[in-house]
Amino acid sequence: MVKSPINNPEFPPLTTSNPDSENLQQAMESLHGETVFPVPNSDYRDIGSTFMYRTEIDTNSEDFHRAIDIGGDEGDNIVATYPGTFWGYRNYSGAGRTVRLRHKFPQSFTYKGRTVSYFYTWYSHLNHEGTEPIVANWKEKETEISSGQLIGKMGQSGETKVVHLDFAVRIGTNNSLRFQLCNPGSTQWGFEPHIHPMILYTPSSPSPEPSLSLVSTANGNLRVRYITDRQQPILNRVETKILQCNSTNPIVVKSHTLDLNLREGIVPPGTTTCPPSGWLDNLDKQKPHFDPIPFGFNASRYQTEIVVPSVWLNANSLSRTENTLQIEVVDIWGSRVSGRYQIGDAPEI
C-alpha cells in the first residue's frame, strides 16, 4: 500500500479554523510594535533549537523543547522582550540561573475557556556573576522593566554544555500543566502555558517558502520532508486527512491534527491525574507525527520529516485507491504548505 504525490489537485485545501489559535495570534500581533529579540548581538539565524520535538546533543534522547535556544558568547547582554514587571531570579537544576518577567496584554482574550491577561517570559542558563549585580536591587513583583532593558548576561548555568539563552514564553500562568495537576491547590488553568516564542516577532521577510516533498513510502509508512529557512523556525501544526474523492465534494474519512502551541494531539484529552515528568509531551507514534530535529547552531535550514505510519493509514481499510491523503503543515501565523498523495499500488520509493 503505497502512495505517489498528486501535482494538480482537483480540489482546494481544506482549512480548519480554530478560535483559540486565532485569538492567540491576534493577541500576540498586538504586541509587535514593542517586542525586541532578547539577545541584541544575535538574530533568528542563531536559534539552535526551536519550539519543537528534538534530539538532545549528547544522549540522542528525544524531548519536546518548550522554548527557543539562542546562541551567542558568554557575557552577551540579555534584554527584556517587552515592557513588564520583574517576576523573580532563581536557580533551577535544569534551567540554571533564570530571570522571569510578567507582561500585561493590551487587551485580555479568551483562550481554552479562560481569560488571559498576562504572559511570562523566562530567560535561562544565565551567567550568575554577570546577572546578579543587574537584578540585585530589583523587587520581585514590583520593579517595572522596559522593553529592551538589560536584565542579565548570557551563560551556561544549569544542565547545558553550550553557552546560549533558553528563552520561553508562557501565557496566562507560569505553572506548567503538570505542576497544576500535581498541585491541586494551585489555580487550575487546564492547559500547558508554553507557546512558540517566535510568535512575539513579525516573521522576517522576504523569506523562502517552506517546502514539502515525499521522501519515502517504505514499509507502507509515508514520510514527507518539510524544509524551511533558518530564519523561519516557526512550524507549529500538521493536519493529516484521508479524503474520499469520488465525488465533487471530498469527504474527510479520517483526520489527525498535531498542534504544538495548542498541544492538540499531544496531551491526551481528559488528563486529570499527576503524570510522570515528561509524560504529557509524549508523541503517539501510531499516528501522524514529526520526527525530532537535532539540536544545532550550524545548519542553514530546518528540516523535519512528517511520518504517517502504515498502522494509521491501513486501519479500517482506508488505503483504498479512491482515497487521497492530504497533509497540511501550518506555521504559527497560519501560513500553510500542503501535499496530496494518491493511495494505491505505485512502486515504493
Binders of Zn ion in range 254-283 (CB under 5 A): none
**How many other CB atoms sit within 10 Å of the CB of residue 32?**
12
Nearer to Zn ion, 166 or 328 (CB): 166
Determine if 308 is a binding residue for Zn ion (CB under 5 A): no
CA atoms of 198 and 89, how far apart (whole Å): 23
Nearest of 229, 226, 225, 227 to residue 205 by alpha carbon = 229
Query: By the 8 A CB rule, do 204 and 225 touch?
Result: no
Q: Does 46 bind Zn ion (CB under 5 A)?
A: no
Q: Are 329 and 337 in contact (CB under 8 A)?
A: yes
- Asked if 69 interacts with Zn ion (CB under 5 A), we say yes
- 126 sits near Zn ion (criterion: CB under 5 A): no
| Residue 52 binds to Zn ion (criterion: CB under 5 A) | no
Closer CB to Zn ion, 52 or 337, in the complex:
52
Q: 251-259 and 235-244: which strand pairing?
A: antiparallel
In whole angstroms, how close is the CB of 101 to Zn ion at the nearest point? 17
Number of residues that bind Zn ion (CB under 5 A): 3
Which segment (22-30, 62-70, 194-202, 298-306) binds Zn ion by CB under 5 A?
62-70
**Contacts to Zn ion from residues 6-45, by CB under 5 A:** none
**Helix or strand or coil: residue 256?**
strand
Q: Kindly indicate which of the ranges 20-28, 69-77, 267-275, 329-337 contains the residues binding Zn ion, using the contact rule CB under 5 A.
A: 69-77
CB of 39 to Zn ion, least distance (A): 13
Q: Which of 67, 243, 327, 329 binds Zn ion (CB under 5 A)?
A: 67
Task: Report if residue 331 touches Zn ion, rule: CB under 5 A.
Answer: no
Contacts 24+ apart (CB under 8 A), 209-214: 209/337, 210/235, 210/329, 210/331, 210/337, 211/337, 212/327, 212/329, 212/337, 212/338, 212/339, 213/339, 214/3, 214/4, 214/5, 214/339, 214/341, 214/349
DSSP for 331-345?
Answer: ETT--EEEEEEEEEB
Distance, in Å, from the CA atom of 29 to the CA atom of 111, rounded to the nearest integer, reads 15
Using the minimum distance from each CB to Zn ion, give the nearer residue, 47 or 308. 47
Question: Measured from the CB atom, is 156 or 207 closer to Zn ion?
Answer: 156
Contact region with Zn ion (CB under 5 A), list: 164-172, 194-202, 257-265, 305-313 = 164-172
| Residue entry with cell 509587535 | 32
Closest distance of CB 314 from Zn ion, Å: 37
By beta-carbon proximity to Zn ion, the closer residue of 76 and 166 is 166
- Kindly state the smallest distance separating residue 273's Cβ from Zn ion, in Å: 28
Taking the complex as a whole, the smallest distance from the CB of residue 126 to Zn ion amounts, in Å, to: 13
Distance from C-alpha of 89 to C-alpha of 259, rounded to nearest angstrom:
31
Cα 348 to the center of its chain, rounded Å:
32
User: Does the footprint of Zn ion cover residue 166 (CB under 5 A)?
Assistant: yes
Contacting residues toward Zn ion, per CB under 5 A: 67, 69, 166
